[in-house]
Amino acid sequence: MPECIIGNTKIHIEVPLILIFFAFLLSDSIKTNLVIFRTCYVTLDYNKSECALLGSKHPDNNTAKLEKIVEPYVALMNMVGSLLDGGVSAVTCLVIGPWSDRFGRRPVLIIPVLGYVVSYMLLALLAVLENLSPWYFLLCSIPVLATGGLSSYLTVLLCYITDVTNESNRGMRMGVFEALLALGIFLGNVSSSYVFEATNYPTVFLISSAFCMLNLLFTIFFIPESITTPESEGRLKGLFQFENVTDLVKTTFKKRRNYDRCVVLSCVLMLTIFILVINGDGALIFLFLREKFHWSLEQYTLFSAAHSLTWVLGTAVGIYLLHKLLKIPETIMIVIGFISMFIGAVVMGLAIYSWQIYAAAFSRALGGVLSPMVRSLVSKIVPNEEIGKVFALIVASESLIGMGGSPIFTAIYNATISTDAGIFNFVAAGVYIVEILLAIGIILVRNVTTTENYNQIVNENDDEERSTVDVSTSS
């Protein structure tokens, strides 16, 4: 496990991971709620008291109609924010990944978090200005994007884990990473509505900023550098060396033995499409539940917490029981994960009662094995000295192409909100069918490779036996 040992105490890299994702989810739905409220009375100029009823547990007909008017504007704003964050983060990630191979992981574990500290403080300031347009909230992304963003941070976290693990335990470590990430999300979701009820918008954002600061301090004092001999000269210049990006692309697309290049590229494609769908429908779940089931913020945060908890448990069961104990290979686990996601999407799309939304979350539980199993599979194909570059390209493609999910699913949602707001779930289910077929294709390719390797070994043994017989006969 990635760790720094101080005395007899083990300090793990997952601690700052939990802290920062707790900060994200503590304020995420609160920010969406604030944008909805501001859009209603500032952008659309409705009565402030009427807008305050949006998201109430028992809305009247007027409130329900107002919800349908406001939500498309909010969905559009979320889409613009996702496009900005995804585009800039993807480009930055392509540079930061190779840079960290030379100059160390710690700078990238520190600087982006500093950007989030400033971003949440700015968000708290804008929340105080009650008549300010919600479009100004997009300015809060500037400190994050200027310091690397979430994509660069996650890339280097994955590289850090790769640095301090070996092939035999890397799959398990990737699973622990995914589970604890979900745990941070769970804790943030559980706390969100209760903290907001006890405080207000600016205070919630300041608390998120404080947890990012804890992440920053913990990393500075307790997380050691994982690169043995990082370079110290030319750090700033290294950020602007374009050959780092070209080398990253060449490494990912280079020809490998058997069909390994095909498998690596298929894994990149699978994760990219997966994130595209997750980003697309994830940004709409809150709006969908408000529209179809008239859920309040408290109801949504409780559901999100339950969803995160099932994700953590599903990941733990999948990785430890199925993969580690029962020795089910990564390829089969990937198929199981996508089947789980497919069932969850169908159940949510068909849901007519609130309890069925929870059933959909339970059905998706094994989806948590997807990212760690795909990355584990890639790490067993790509040499250790190249894995950081491949991970950087994976995260960059997830961020760049994945941001397309927001406008696609937003367009579907806005076009179907008056008929059936849940149609986007069936679109997601259709994509998961494609992912299942792609995963099955990888299994077939791996089986062909195994068979060819086996036949090659048998032929080599036969040749050795013939040579031995010929030598004996000659003697």
Each residue of 455-470: pLDDT tens digit? 554 455 555 555 554 5
Domain boundaries of the chain, sorted by first residue: 13-227+255-456
Give residue 474's pLDDT: 53
- Kindly list the distances between the CA atom of residue 326 and the CA atoms of 323, 367, 405, in Å, as whole numbers in the listed order: 6, 18, 35
Residue type, 421: A
Burial (CB < 10 A; 0-12, 13-18, 19+), residue 225, is middle
Name residues whose C-beta falls within 8 Å of residue 418's C-beta, 6 or more positions apart in sequence. Answer: 68
pLDDT digits (tens, 9 = 90+) for 65-81: 888 888 888 878 877 88
Distance CA 391, CA 374 (A): 11
pLDDT digits (tens, 9 = 90+) for 83-94: 787 778 778 888
Residue type, 8: N
Among 46-55, 69-78, 367-376, 397-406, name the most confident range. Answer: 367-376
Under a CB-based contact definition with an 8 Å cutoff, are residues 279 and 403 in contact?
Answer: yes
Joined together, the tokens standing for residue 162 give 């790769």
Q: Is pLDDT at 182 greater than 90 in this prediction?
A: no
How many other C-beta atoms lie within 10 A of the C-beta of residue 167? 10
Distance CA 142, CA 277 (A): 25
How many other C-beta atoms lie within 10 A of the C-beta of residue 251? 20
| Percent of the chain whose predicted confidence (pLDDT) is above 70 | 89
Distance CA 377, CA 371 (A): 10
**13-227+255-456 domain in CATH 1.20.1250.20?**
yes
Q: Is pLDDT at 11 greater than 50 in this prediction?
A: no
Tell which wins on pLDDT, 100 or 362. Answer: 362
Under a CB-based contact definition with an 8 Å cutoff, are residues 84 and 405 in contact?
Answer: no
**Helix (H) or strand (E) run with residue 273 in it:** helix 260-282
